[in-house]
Amino acid sequence: VDVLARYECPAITARRARRKEVSGVEQDPIVWERARGACVTDPDGNRFVDLTAGFGVASCGHGNPAVRAAVHAQVDRLVHGLGDAYPGRPRVELAEALARVLPGGLCQSIFASSGSEAVEAAIKCAVLATGRSRVVAFEDGYHGMSLGALPRSHYKPDFRQPFAGILPRIADFLRFGADLDGLRRTLREGEPVAALLVEPVQGRGGVNVAPPGWLRGLREACDEAGALLIFDEVMTGFGRGGELVLAGTAAADGVVPDLICLGKGLTSGFPLSACVGTERAMAGWGRSTGEAIHTSTFLGHPVGCAAALAVLALFERGGLLERGRELGGHMEGTLRALAERHPGRLSAPRGRGAIWGLTVSAAPGAPALCRCMLERGFLLIPAGRRGDALSFTPPLTTTRAQWDAAMQALEDCL
Ligand SMILES: Cc1ncc(COP(=O)(O)O)c(C=O)c1O
């Protein structure tokens, strides 16, 4: 960590000052050496249960054998293709598979490497489809740090402020879950809106669940305003929210967006993301006339696509969704019981599927609790604009014993 702090951008690694500031304890991150299932091992051989699944990524468990086998086989065949120009076979198969498993005509993909890039691709689609450039997003939403996604990430203003001078116009932010009449008014006022960008369950912003009927209201408001609806399911997708994606399910009022952004759990560990849209939403791009007006060197990376195909097979044939739902039900019950034992200190848990969070309103605060959990062998991170929430996004394969041990440790820390 000393070496990294010296040779990497200090804001990324040397977070000691910040950690000390918020928790009062001098602390370094642990270094990850190996990971299997829900467990991460550091270079000294200490094992930790990862209640974050590495930022909600390793849904199938770290180093899932089926995903590893697919990655190994692909590495032996073809590591790198020629981006948009000459596709590898896995990209063809994944584009087709996503069209098959996603609801409501979400059938055309733009592949990328990170969640932010998928969000940027969706914004480009909306701009082209509508000929407009105003994007409306929500308070406490998080869509990534790249320069196209950052102005739409309300969480946190501090992340945007130093770059305000070079950011494209900052999105209008509306209150998540706010009254729909006001929202409709905002969409009618001023410049016409290209897109509404929303997480059906806000992750990093503190695990906030859209109230029943609200997403349906967003759909109707978008239709009235001629704007596209973008679901950012980078966090909730691929089983995290209790469904393959929340789009089209009762958890999202049956609403299908015009565009959906996927990442994280899509590969359970390889940097690959996708923006998938309806034919209508993608039509604005027109047909390829030679040089692509949107691409990247690693677009549809063969190894990432092979990993995603293996992950999809685990959902379709390996019972992973059911496992995640069962874990999620257990998480909800145990977190509710914990919160009831600490009234005035812990809020009721919020969440869906296997993403849950709660607010910590008295000392020790969320960062200190995370440190205490680390010392007991559990990886946990704070969430929320003020860092006052605990967010739980463990691998869907986490066992009851691992989870129950985590709850016992949290009880001890409290
Ligand atoms: C909902 C959501 N969208 C987008 C992103 C950005 O993804 P990435 O960090 O891969 O760019 C994240 C990352 O946490 C996310 O949670």
pLDDT digits (tens, 9 = 90+) for 140-164: 999 999 999 999 999 988 889 999 8
For the record, the structure tokens of 383 come out as 């969430």
pLDDT tens by residue, 351-369: 999 999 999 998 889 999 9
* CA angle, 308 then 314 then 320, to 5°: 120
CA distances 82 to 87, 91, 194, 271, 331, Å, are: 6, 11, 32, 17, 43
Residue 59 has pLDDT above 80, yes or no: yes
241 in ligand 1 pocket by Cβ < 6 Å? no
Confidence of residue 25 (pLDDT cuts 50, 70, 90): low
Q: Percent of the chain at pLDDT above 90?
A: 83
Instruction: Report the pLDDT value the prediction gives residue 7, as an integer from 0 to 100.
Output: 86
CA distance 267 to 303: 10
What CA–CA distance (Å, rounded) separates 60 from 112?
Answer: 21
Residue 197 confidence (pLDDT) above 80: yes
Q: Is this prediction's pTM over 0.95?
A: yes
Query: How high is the mean pLDDT of the chain?
Result: 94
pLDDT bin (cut points 50, 70, 90) of residue 83 is confident
Residue 195 CA to ligand 1 center (angstroms) comes to: 18
pLDDT at 16: 64
Helix (H) or strand (E) holding 56: helix 53-56
Q: What is the pLDDT of residues 265-317, one digit of tens each?
A: 999 999 999 999 999 999 999 988 888 889 999 999 999 999 999 999 999 99
Q: Distance, CA 345 to ligand 1 centroid (Å)?
A: 29
Mean pLDDT to the nearest integer, 58-75? 98
At residue 200, the pLDDT reads: 98
Q: Residue 125 belongs to what H/E stretch? A: helix 115-130
CB 263 less than 6 A from any atom of ligand 1: yes
- What pLDDT shows up at residue 3? 84
Measured in angstroms, how far is the CA atom of residue 204 from the centroid of ligand 1? 9
> Residue-wise over 238-272: b if at least 16 C-beta within 10 A, else e?
bbbbbbbbbbbbebbbebbbbbbbbbbbbbbbbbb
Q: Rounded to 5 degrees, what are φ and ψ at 181?
A: -65, -45
CA distance 407 to 402: 9
Split at pLDDT 50, 70, 90, the class of 24 is low
| Helix extents (H) in 251-399 | 279-282, 302-317, 320-341, 366-375
How are beta strands 389-392 and 381-383 bridged, if at all?
A: antiparallel
Q: Is 265's C-beta closer than 6 angstroms to any atom of ligand 1?
A: no
Q: Which helix (H) or strand (E) holds 112?
A: strand 108-112
Answer whether 381 contacts ligand 1 (Cβ < 6 A).
no
What is the residue whose two structure tokens read 């009022």?
253
Q: Provide mean pLDDT across the span 395-410.
A: 98
**Could you report the per-residue pLDDT of 39-51, keeping only the tens digit for each?**
999 999 999 999 9
Helix (H, G, I), strand (E, B) or coil at 76: helix
Ligand 1 pocket test: which of 138, 142, 202 has the largest number of ligand atoms within 8 Å of its C-beta?
A: 142
d(CA 4, CA 279): 45
User: Tell me: the pLDDT tens digits for 218-258?
Assistant: 999 999 999 999 999 999 999 999 999 999 999 999 999 99
Radius of gyration of the chain (CA): 21
- Give the pLDDT score at 23: 61
Q: Is the pLDDT of residue 18 over 70?
A: no
